[in-house]
Amino acid sequence: MNNELESSKSVYHRWGSIFDLATKRERLSELDTVTAEPDFWNNSEEAQKVSKERANLTNLIEKADSLVTSIEDIRVLFDLTKESGSEEELGTLNTEVDTIEAYISSFELARMLSGPHDSQNAILEVNAGAGGTEAQDWAEMLLRMYIRWAEKRKFTTEILFTNGGEEAGIKSATLVIEGPNAFGFLRSERGVHRLVRISPFDSNARRHTSFASVSVMPDIEEDIDVVINSDDLRIDTFRAGGAGGQHINKTDSAVRITHLPTNIVVQCQSQRSQHKNKDTAMKLLKAKLFDLETEKQREEMAKIAGERKKIDFGSQIRNYVMQPYQLVKDVRSDVQTSDVDGVLDGAIDIFIEGYLMSEDCNIA
């Protein structure tokens, strides 16, 4: 019983290390002063950013205060249970501790999503690897997995571009996912995903290994400074097509932009308006160039630290095995599950959280 009580008591001590509430209260006070200025709304764009930050801080502090109160109640219950030795009170204490533990875990996860762009929407790209129809079918399965994950979180999705496979699946696709911390969650999915299964396209029912790569970029704010010289661009228009083409406008409204210095290509076909597709494609290009520069900085820091982790083919981050056994395992965090169908239906939070936890430990 003493072990259970000590475990319960440790919840209180864990809480103090999660957030620096004093700093957050100080920042909220600063924002309150700013929003009280008579000319606050003269710059509506900046005012909206400040208001958003203020609302987020207010929400976090209110939840934290509520949680602190709950923890104080647990301390009282802890002392009472220690004195009485009541098994019934111990059961109540354990239930309360489990609830608080889960709540604290959600706060810990929020702390890990505090990167400069974690709060933003995500631009996700899926590309089939070598292997023809097998890899293209796998790429489409991954695309569906992320759409289902977003749906479970009530996030919105928009497919900006798809390049269908010859027989099945997709060669590539670009998807925007909009929701709180979408990029912060999905940056854990960058890299190569490996599938092992009995091929539905093989008449001899042989086991095949397929690869697809996933890249994730933040849907960066308009005020991020990314200089794009118009002379460096080649802009082509073409007719939208591919899988599901009956639902896609068949005019020459799709836009492809090539950034000549980097050979980065972006495409958009989601709108009927060529002008709107061009605007979206430029936004995608801006995000890719920003991510390219960020990746260069990450690699430079890795060199300084004596370590370099490549994100390309041959360095898969996760294995999905459907035959001869059922297993999905993340090679970075060692998180695994035998519920392959559930994972492919969007249940990937265990891998996202496992990655964030392992990343946090590496930083620490």
Name the burial class of residue 143, with classes exposed (0-12), middle (13-18) and buried (19+) by CB atoms within 10 angstroms of its CB: buried
Tens digit of pLDDT for each residue in 126-177? 999 987 899 999 999 999 999 999 999 999 999 998 998 888 999 999 999 9
Given phi > 0 = left and psi -120 to 50 = alpha, else beta, which region is 169?
left
Q: Assess whether pLDDT exceeds 70 at residue 303.
A: no
pLDDT above 70 coverage of the chain, percent: 83
The bridge status of strand 170-178 relative to strand 336-337 is unpaired
Q: Please give the model's pTM, rounded to 2 decimal places.
A: 0.68
Are 289 and 259 in contact by the 8 Å Cβ rule? The answer is yes
Tens digit of pLDDT for each residue in 304-337? 434 434 434 457 899 999 988 999 999 999 999 9
| Among the ranges given (29-33, 176-180, 221-225, 277-281), the one the predictor scored with the smallest mean pLDDT | 221-225
Residue 344 — pLDDT band, cuts 50, 70, 90?
very high
Tens digit of pLDDT for each residue in 255-274? 999 999 898 999 888 788 88
| Among the ranges given (106-110, 150-154, 189-193), the one the predictor scored with the smallest mean pLDDT | 106-110
Domains and CATH numbers, the chain: 2-112 (1.20.58.410), 115-215+318-364 (3.30.70.1660), 220-305 (3.30.160.20)
Tokens 């599938």 locate to 195
pLDDT at res. 251: 61
